[in-house]
């Protein structure tokens, strides 16, 4: 079964930053057979990373349905490789983008969904934001560490 990890939260909660951190962590700590990392703009990235037989797709843009739907095209970046095993993406707490993921990347379509809620704290509360960010990045790393496709 394929897995999709969705960082879900409101605006300015750092969903993109956390996914970019995970992308950089994967690229730094694993032997990469193939990667296509496309910048969407100065912050957002979209692409795939292949580690041995495991293929991970990612999309950091998730503020609206159009951005969320870009995950549908990730398999097109694989060339002759297998289908995606994991997707890491972002979406808002509510709205059409979140509904799209729920309706199309679900158990009956072969996807195990894991929504990771990103709480919103006041911009001035740097301590709570930093604690949240470390905890959410470590949670996502924990889901990914040791994963190897047999």
Mean pLDDT of 45-63: 91
Per-residue pLDDT, 38: 84
Mean pLDDT of 39-61: 90
The residue ranges of every structural domain in the chain are 11-81+93-144
Burial category of 101 from C-beta neighbours within 10 Å (exposed 0-12, middle 13-18, buried 19 and up): buried
How far is residue 34 from each of residues 12, 49, 55, measured CA to CA in Å? 31, 6, 9
Give the model confidence (pLDDT) of 71-87 as tens digits.
999 988 876 657 899 99
Q: Decide if pLDDT at 149 tops 80.
A: no
End-to-end CA distance of the chain: 13
Closest CA to 136 of 8, 2, 4: 8
Cα Dmax for the chain: 48
Higher pLDDT, 79 or 9: 9
How far is residue 102 from each of residues 62, 74, 85, 108, 145, measured CA to CA in Å? 14, 18, 17, 11, 25
Which of 2-6, 36-40, 140-144 is least confident?
A: 36-40
Mean pLDDT of 51-65: 91
Q: Decide if pLDDT at 148 tops 70.
A: no
Which of 77-91, 93-107, 119-133 is least confident?
A: 77-91
Average model confidence (pLDDT) for the chain?
A: 90
Mean pLDDT of 44-73: 92
- Cβ pair 64, 20 in contact under 8 A: no
Burial category of 67 from C-beta neighbours within 10 Å (exposed 0-12, middle 13-18, buried 19 and up): buried
In three-state secondary structure terms, 148 is: coil
């Amino acid at each position: 079964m394929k897995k999709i990890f969705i960082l879900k939260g409101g605006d300015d909660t750092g969903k993109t930053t956390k996914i970019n951190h995970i992308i950089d962590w994967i690229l730094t700590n694993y032997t990469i057979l193939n990667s296509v990392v496309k910048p969407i703009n100065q912050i957002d990235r979209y692409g795939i990373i292949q580690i041995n037989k495991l293929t991970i797709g990612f999309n950091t843009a998730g503020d609206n349905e159009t951005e969320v739907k870009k995950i549908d095209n990730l398999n097109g970046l694989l060339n002759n490789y297998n289908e995606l095993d994991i997707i890491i993406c972002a979406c808002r707490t509510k709205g059409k983008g979140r509904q799209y993921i729920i309706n199309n990347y679900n158990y009956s379509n072969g996807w195990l969904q894991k929504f990771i809620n990103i709480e919103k704290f006041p911009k001035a509360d740097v301590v709570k934001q930093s604690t949240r960010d470390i905890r959410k990045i470590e949670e996502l790393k924990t889901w990914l560490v040791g994963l190897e496709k047999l």
